[in-house]
Amino acid sequence: MAGTAVVTGASSGIGAATARRLAAAGHDVVVMARREERLTRLAEEIGGRALPLDVTDAAAVEQAVAALDRCDVLVNNAGGALGADPVGLADADHWQWMFSVNVLGTLRVTQALLPLLRKDDGGTIVNITSTAAFVNYEGGAGYSAAKHAEHALTETLRLELCGEPVRVVEIAPGMVATEEFAVNRFQGDAAKAASVYADVDRPLTAEDVAECVALAVGLPQHVNVDQLVVRPLAQAAQHRIHRGPLFRG
């Protein structure tokens, strides 16, 4: 067994794919998310454990972590975007939700599990941020601000843990086509969500990002991937996306 891995936001998308990938690598995987039924099915599928919780609920995080006696890998994946309005029209409640999940959720879970990650031969923290953590774009101020903050948390934590055997890794995906992210952002407008990926030849999948997590986690403990930015070939930068075929056959 490769050790115990905890994955938040594991009921779908990148979180679920990461849980499957780490289980395949031999980890005892603990999956965390709000949707208990989905979480239970995933845990049964991968032979892991389900701990339903909302990362924005401090008491729920403490209660869930109290059930664990080991954590070698923590993947802070819980997050999301809500709304795409310009700053002048932005809904402050959307911003508050994005900060609560992306930033404070990561903070709470990390704080709760850090004592276990520091035990024995050390551990690994992987924070899933976004290319929005570095590049701003119209309509994305709230999400970008939250991911900038999560990036700052990650970088600062790495500095503060220098001298301890705990790796801190940031994986920042670009365009990833999952079943829920864009639909949730546009509050159920499936057509608007689909337009984000229209004519893009092979945007990243959740499984692609999960492979990046497995790569960083699987390296020797003395090797730290500080930051891994991963995009589909069709996306050269946040604002430079090729729409049309890339590959023959």
Question: Parallel, antiparallel, or unpaired: how do β-strands 240-241 and 235-237 relate?
Answer: antiparallel
Question: How large is the C-alpha radius of gyration of the chain?
Answer: 18
| Residue linked to tokens 């050390």 | 122
Determine contact, residues 77/33, Cβ cutoff 8 Å. no
- β-sheet bridge partners, residue 29: 5
Q: Which of 95, 97, 143, 186 is catalytic?
A: 143
197 annotated active-site: no
Kindly report the number of other CB atoms within 10 A of residue 197's CB atom.
Answer: 17
Phi, psi of 209 (to 5 degrees): -70, -40
Of the candidates 74, 80, 147, 155, which has an alpha carbon nearest to the alpha carbon of residue 109?
A: 74
Beta bridge partners of 227: 170
DSSP reduced 3-state for 139: coil
Q: What is the dihedral of CA 119, 120, 121, 125, to 10 degrees?
A: -20
What does the DSSP 8-state code read for residue 176? B
Q: Is residue 79 helix, strand or coil?
A: coil
CA distances from 128 to 19, 174, 248 (A): 13, 11, 32
Q: Could you give the CA distance from residue 69 to residue 71 in angstroms, rounded to a whole number?
A: 7
Active site residues: 143
